[in-house]
Amino acid sequence: MSLVKLVIKGISYSHTQNGAYALILNEVDGDRKLPIVIGAFEAQSIAIAIEKELKPPRPLTHDLFKNFADRFDIVINQVIIHKLVDGVFFSSIICERDGIEEIIDARTSDAISLAIRFKAPIFTYKNILDKAGIYLNDGVVDGNEEEDDDIDDVLEEIFTNIEPSKPVEKVNEYAHFSLKELNDLLANAVANEDYEKAARLRDEISRKQE
């Protein structure tokens, strides 16, 4: 089976399901996207690894794993999303130490969190992408607002299969803050290790800077 390389597009969260997040992966040589539902902690860990401005005062679990691996000369060469069963993705971490390669089973969210920190490529098999990949805007990927709306619509469809929790209103709580205020709030959120709030603040700062 042929492998397809993926890159991270970003993380989206449900406006109707509390604590529901999705990691969006892009096909490198194609137009498909692979949405993977992940937990809040994993979403925070991935967001922090992507956003270099977010520097936690103490290492998160995945940072600790990276520090531990570095100390003992363990390198992650790649991550492969190798199986999809009943909507659940299964992944393997391909690592190496002293020239000996090992394959370790891992949750996909954990595997990707580590892949980012090790700058390791992420792959899946073509049959998995054929089954779970989605096209947006008739295959045209341009990063515009219409595409983001399409992603939101698709994800809300995916999130409906998650056990419902208390609905929340689709309100941008930070829209009225200035950039300075947002940056101050961001620094405070990181200092307090509230990474979920920090990720939302980073999103709002990015929107205002566009």
d(CA 195, CA 13): 14
**pLDDT digit string, tens, across residues 142-164:** 444 455 555 566 666 655 554 43
pLDDT tens, position by position, 7-44: 998 888 766 555 678 899 999 988 899 999 888 888 88
SS3 annotation, 136-199? CHHHCCCCCHHHHHHHHHHHHHHHCCCCCCCCCCCCCCCCCCCHHHHHHHHHHHHHCCCHHHHH
Distance, in Å, from the CA atom of 51 to the CA atom of 60, rounded to the nearest integer, reads 14
pLDDT the model gives residue 143: 43
Residue with more model confidence, 164 or 197: 197
Q: Which tokens hold the place of 135?
A: 């096209």
At 155 the pLDDT is 60
Q: Token pair of 127, please?
A: 């049959």
Looking at the predicted structure, is the pLDDT value of residue 54 above 60? yes
pLDDT averaged over the chain?
Answer: 79
Tell me what pLDDT residue 193 has: 67
- Could you tell me which residue, 84 or 56, shows the higher pLDDT? 84
The answer to whether 158 touches 150, Cβ cutoff 8 Å, is no
Q: Which phi-psi region, left, alpha or beta, contains residue 8 (left: φ > 0; alpha: ψ -120 to 50)?
A: beta
Residue 31 has a CB neighbour count (10 Å cut-off) of 15
The per-residue pLDDT for 17 is 59
* pLDDT of 166 strictly over 50: no
- Is the pLDDT reported for residue 173 higher than 70? yes
- For residue 139, name the pLDDT band (cuts at 50, 70, 90): very low
Q: In the CATH scheme, what is the code of domain 3-161?
A: 3.10.690.10
What backbone phi and psi angles, to 5 degrees, belong to 10?
Answer: 165, -170
Decide if 50 contacts 8 (C-beta within 8 A).
yes
Work out the angle between the directed axes of helices 40-50 and 195-209 (0-180°, nearest 10): 50
